Structure 1
Amino acid sequence: MSNKKRIAAIGECMIELQQHHDGSLQQGFGGDTLNAAVYLCRELGPLAEVDYVTALGLDSFSDAMCQSWAEEGIGLGKVQRLPGRLPGLYCIQTDARGERRFLYWRNEAAVRDCFNTAAAGPILADLCDYDVLYFSGITLAVLGETGRKKLIDLLVEARIRRAQIVFDNNYRPRLWASVEQARAAYLQVLEHVDLALLTLEDEQALFGHDYAHGVFAAYPNIAEVVIKRGADSCLVRCGAERYEVPALPVQRVVDTTAAGDSFSAAYLACRLRGGSPVQAAEAGHRLASRVIQHHGALIPRD
């Protein structure tokens, strides 16, 4: 019997266009949970099986996505291919400091029906037996109201079977009809989370938490809460213990895309290997510091 951890990352991967300063575009693929899945595969190697749960079309871009995921070691068994649908698309524009601006085209993306197809029932049933379920605030947005209800049912059943539920808040206002709708969805889901990986800026935008201690106070029933603060130290509460772990200095930031995703993946990977919260935060900072020195979400494997 295999001792590998079975991890499912649930969400959306899109066609990524990286705009350079001369106006040229470089095409790739990216999405927050997909980025995390790739980095989890790289960090854990043979210790885990990582599957991606999403929906794509039957087009050449979707074919290329699946091929690239397979090359990274990501399992494709939970990827639905829907006739007549396409992946979403986004463009990253960066300023001289490496800060990002995103433009999205995703209203007709196949992932919006990920949990609404005939094939979704068996997939959801199987996911209950995974060791780790990983998803984000963007997952909540793109699944829609019906999909979110099915996700919550999945989380409840999976926790009964002792799965670990991991949530990265990644709040994107443009994906929601209103901040009130987003708050309600987040609060419903956070009741079922074991490890919350929270970007402080997103918490401030969504819930108005001005300080980190306000974030900790808002989630007393979540066993482990990590507050990501960009280039500043991250804060961790695990049980009754709290830690502050400094970030690594980076002299030249090229692109901050996937900084938070890579941090989350390295943090989770270290914890799954038995590392302490401090060791996990250090691992998260190390990987994020490398990622922001490259263009795009996924850095070369070497």
Structure 2
Amino acid sequence: MNTLSPLGPNTPRIALIGECMIELQQRADGSLQQSFGGDTLNTAVYLSRAMGDKAQVDYVTALGDDSFSDAMCQIWRSEGIGLDLVQRLPGRLPGLYCIQTDAHGERRFLYWRNEAAVRDCFTTPAAEPVLAALPDYDVLYFSGITLAVLGMQGRARLIRTLVEARQRDARIVFDNNYRPRLWASVEEARGAYRSVLPYVDLALLTVDDEQALFGFADCESVFEAYAQFGTPEVVLKRGAETCLIRCEGEAFEVPAQKVDKVIDTTAAGDSFSAAYLAKRLLGGSPAEAAEAGHRLASQVIQCPGALIPKA
């Protein structure tokens, strides 16, 4: 069991595993604004901004050899994100999604991702050096979306990597981000989640996703279930409501920050997770980390799209 205490005097190496897609943001007049986004990539960007030169943040994914993939890499590099573990697969393309928001800022996603390059992220010969490098990182971060897009073979290879990384004292961080459309059945998703949860040190959970996937009746049921998995630190994100935390037997409740007008809730949870993780790695308490998470998320939901401009 590893705790999220500061990682010592050396610069920690953090690898986030997942998918970045082409993002289309539908405006009120019906026009589309094109950018890029994806849950773990959003977290990687906000984490890199929060950590600055106090950490090395690398992204792990597979892209194509097209101009959109080129543009993604250029943006990531400008954000200080390392690209050594990004595979470029000839003839392939990244996935695409469109965000539609209602008058209250709530979002609806439309996806085109079945042939995305990331689905072969851990199955190609080029994946071997990537998988070999991951256990040497100090922190590995992935999500429920990561589990879905990797497929059965990719998930199996990820689990072997998590086991080896933990044996080398890496911290494993997981954001549940359950998306039913990415799974053949809820039973398949439950099995995949349960296969990785025994290796997780910090679980960043959205309550609605936990209820949809596992049918938990209330927050206490979630905490009890993750205690059975042996997860030492569990964070329940509840949108505009208070955040609930259990860490090494202690309980915390941290109120969200109120905003006058919600523009777009895209990446609210991803940004919260980034700020929370950054504060914990820099020595902050769980309560301080949740305050940082709420603070960043409150800024993100007042801007359209997943990534807000740098401060």
Query: Shorter-chain-normalised TM-score: which range?
Result: over 0.9
Deviations 1:238-294 (A, max 9, x none): 011001000000110000000000000000000000000000000000000000000
The residue aligned with 2:197 is: 190
The residue aligned with 1:35 is: 42
Q: Are 2:32 and 1:25 equivalent residues in the alignment? A: yes
The residue aligned with 1:233 is: 242
Whole-angstrom distance in 2 between the partners of 1:288 and 1:210: 26
Whole-angstrom distance in 2 between the partners of 1:290 and 1:2: 31
How far did residue 121 of structure 1 move? Answer: 1.2
The residue aligned with 2:148 is: 141
Whole-angstrom distance in 1 between the partners of 2:299 and 2:218: 28
Deviations 1:134-183 (A, max 9, x none): 00000000000000000000000000000000000000000000000000
2:86 to 65, 69, 79: 79
Amino acid at match of 1:7: I
Q: Are 2:266 and 1:257 equivalent residues in the alignment? A: yes
Whole-angstrom distance in 2 between the partners of 1:176 and 1:224: 27
- Larger RCO of the pair (alpha carbons < 8 Å, separation 6+): 2
Q: Look up the SS of the partner of 2:136 in the other structure.
A: coil
Amino acid at match of 2:44: A
The residue aligned with 2:3 is: none
The residue aligned with 2:13 is: 6
Whole-angstrom distance in 2 between the partners of 1:300 and 1:210: 38
Q: Are 2:310 and 1:301 equivalent residues in the alignment? A: yes
Deviations 1:21-56 (A, max 9, x none): 110100000000000000000000000000000000
Q: Which runs of 5 or more residues in structure 2 are unaligned?
A: 1-7
Q: Look up the SS of the partner of 2:29 in the other structure.
A: coil
Amino acid at match of 1:276: S
Whole-angstrom distance in 2 between the partners of 1:215 and 1:47: 33
Q: Look up the SS of the partner of 1:165 in the other structure.
A: strand
Whole-angstrom distance in 2 between the partners of 1:12 and 1:215: 27
Amino acid at match of 2:186: V
Whole-angstrom distance in 2 between the partners of 1:258 and 1:182: 22
The residue aligned with 1:104 is: 111
How far did residue 214 of structure 1 move? Answer: 0.5
Whole-angstrom distance in 2 between the partners of 1:2 and 1:199: 32
Q: Are 2:185 and 1:181 equivalent residues in the alignment? A: no
Q: Look up the SS of the partner of 1:219 in the other structure.
A: helix
The residue aligned with 1:53 is: 60
The residue aligned with 2:296 is: 287
Whole-angstrom distance in 1 between the partners of 2:35 and 2:49: 18
Amino acid at match of 2:55: A
Tell me the number of residue pairs that the alignment of Structure 1 and Structure 2 aligns. 302
The residue aligned with 1:124 is: 131
Whole-angstrom distance in 2 between the partners of 1:119 and 1:127: 14
Deviations 1:168-224 (A, max 9, x none): 000000000000000000011101100000000000000011211010000111010
Q: Which runs of 5 or more residues in structure 1 are unaligned?
A: none
Q: Look up the SS of the partner of 2:131 in the other structure.
A: helix
Whole-angstrom distance in 1 between the partners of 2:226 and 2:59: 28
Q: Are 2:297 and 1:275 equivalent residues in the alignment? A: no
How far did residue 74 of structure 1 move? Answer: 0.3
Across the aligned residues of Structure 1 and Structure 2, the Cα RMSD in angstroms comes to 0.9
Whole-angstrom distance in 1 between the partners of 2:87 and 2:136: 19
How far did residue 2 of structure 1 move? Answer: 7.7
Amino acid at match of 1:263: F
Q: Look up the SS of the partner of 2:82 in the other structure.
A: coil
Whole-angstrom distance in 2 between the partners of 1:210 and 1:173: 19
Amino acid at match of 1:65: M
